[in-house]
Amino acid sequence: MSKIFQGSKRVVVKIGSALLVDQSTGAVRRDWLAALSKDVAMLRARGAQVLIVSSGSIAAGRRHLGLQNRSLKLEEKQAAAATGQITLAHAYQESLAAEGFTAAQILLTPGDTEERRRHLNARATILQLLSLGAVPVINENDTVATQEIRYGDNDRLAARVSTMVSADTLILLSDIDGLYTADPRSTAGAEHLPVVDHLSPEILAMAGDVAVSAERGGLSTGGMVTKLEAAKIALGGGCRMIIARGNDPHPLQALADGARCTVFTAPEKPVAARKRWIAGQLNASGIVVVDKGAATALANGKSLLPAGVVRVEGEFERGDPVSVTGLDGNRLAIGLAAYSRDDAAKIVGRQSKEIADILGFEGRSALIHRDDLALLADGPGTGRTVRDERAQPVT
């Protein structure tokens, strides 16, 4: 038994169209999906939360609309995706239910993962689903994504999702068991790389040309180019990435049993990467001043509750970065506000249970959640150093 999943707490599994959808008939490969769902159950039994990023809506949908056997224009792909996504959702719902899991569909556009406020909303919803035991099944919202604002490949979408939810492992299931020194389909003697510790220019060059990958046609997009782009995103967010072969049933069980793959190691933990991202938000125009008790709570890794806030200053909207200072003016942290300045001002010093009555809506109990706080190891004003966060919980 391999140790590949040892310590994994949150795993994103990306499934390409070619694995999930039969190329000749356009039907979902139900037996393969049933086996995959058993693998999900295996990871869950090992204590890991699992998210699926699934392609296949266009591949499954084109036959519904008589769009087989030719390349499609963007609007035809969007139309195909609209019908195929229903098929995918049903297939996942049934297969995961057979293992006792509730499937939850989430369709994202690049803006949802990149624009901070929408990113935080999507993150909160996905984390809520995970805490309720559901298995999120995520795809690009192809029907509304335009050419310019489209991922187009789910490798990078899966990497963005991984960093958004602070996953520790991203697995790209492909038709190949990892990265080779060159495309083994066209280069005899290409060698398999079991571990990649650094995305050097030499490694990036091994993916070849995206145009050539695209020419292979069929159901897949991107080839190794988008997988290495995904690696840059995932590793930057503290998430390791694994490329593994998914064609045969039970690909995750095969990995657990020691199947060959490529592991791209991450230089830091997801929580540390997220805190670094928050600490790097340079435009913190708002200030939240906290009392001594709250300062101590923050130092102990707690969320900032309104009860410990003395006043708010400056302008900020929900999701904006704000500086957290003590009564003496020392900056203690940078955090992402769960409330706008106007709403925050109304709940300063109040108990979390009073928030709904004061604001007229049920908001978050914390003014800044601990996951959205980066403590600063600095004196007054200037510091940007993130304190060692290893002791902090992920959720």
Ligand X SMILES: Nc1ncnc2c1ncn2[C@@H]1O[C@H](COP(=O)(O)OP(=O)(O)O)[C@@H](O)[C@H]1O
Binding annotation:
14, 55, 142, 154, 174-175, 221-227
Exposed, middle or buried: residue 135 (CB in 10 Å: 0-12, 13-18, 19+)? Answer: buried
The answer to whether residue 354 forms part of the interface with ligand X (CB under 6 A) is no
How many Å apart are CA 158 and CA 144, to the nearest integer?
A: 18
57 binds, among ligand X, ligand VHF, none (CB under 5 to 8 A by kind): ligand VHF
Nearest CB to ligand X, comparing residues 206 and 338: 206
CB of 103 to ligand X, least distance (A): 21
Question: Which is nearer to ligand VHF, 169 or 220 (by Cβ)?
Answer: 220
Yes or no: say if 218 and 23 are a contact pair by the CB < 8 Å rule: yes
In terms of DSSP bridges, do strands 169-174 and 240-245 run parallel, antiparallel, or are they unpaired?
parallel
Q: Closer to ligand X at the Cβ: 166 or 221? A: 221
89 interacts with, out of ligand X, ligand VHF, none, CB within 5 to 8 A per kind: none
Whole-number Å distance between alpha carbons of 158 and 155: 5
Which candidate, 86, 38, 37, 34, places its Cα nearest to that of 58? 86
By the rule CB under 6 A, 241 interacts with ligand X: no
Task: Please choose which of ligand VHF, ligand X, none residue 206 contacts, taking the beta carbon within 5 to 8 angstroms, the exact cut-off set by kind.
Answer: ligand X
Give the separation between CA 202 and CA 355, rounded to whole angstroms: 55
Asked if residues 248 and 242 have their Cβ atoms less than 8 Å apart, the reply is: no
**Cβ count near 191 (within 10 Å):** 11
Strands 240-245 and 195-196: unpaired
Q: Given the rule CB under 6 A, which residues bind ligand VHF?
A: 16-18, 55-59, 81, 139-140, 142, 153-154, 219-222
Q: In the structure encoding, which two tokens stand for residue 13, read together?
A: 């599994």
Q: Which of 52, 145, 167, 206 binds ligand X (CB under 6 A)?
A: 206
N-to-C CA span, the chain: 29
Which span sits near ligand X by CB under 6 A: 119-127, 181-189, 312-320, 337-345?
181-189
Place of tokens 């958004």: 164
Q: Is 177 in the site for ligand X (CB under 6 A)?
A: no
Does 170 participate in binding ligand X (rule CB under 6 A)?
A: no
With CB atoms as reference, the residue minimizing the distance to ligand X is 16
CB of 153: closest distance to ligand X in angstroms? 7
Q: Which stretch binds ligand X (CB under 6 A): 67-75, 96-104, 204-212, 299-307?
A: 204-212
Strands (E), 57-112: 103-108
Is the dihedral angle over the CA atoms 215, 218, 224, 226 positive or is it negative? positive
Q: How far is the CB of 61 from ligand VHF (least distance, A)?
A: 8
Residue 166 or 213: the one with the smaller Cβ distance to ligand X is 213
Is position 175 an interface residue for ligand X (rule: CB under 6 A)?
yes
Decide whether 18 or 337 has the Cβ nearer to ligand VHF: 18
Give CA–CA dist 327/329, Å, rounded.
5
**Which residue lies nearer to ligand X by CB, 184 or 301?**
184
- 262's contact among ligand VHF, ligand X, none, with CB below 5 to 8 A by partner kind, is none
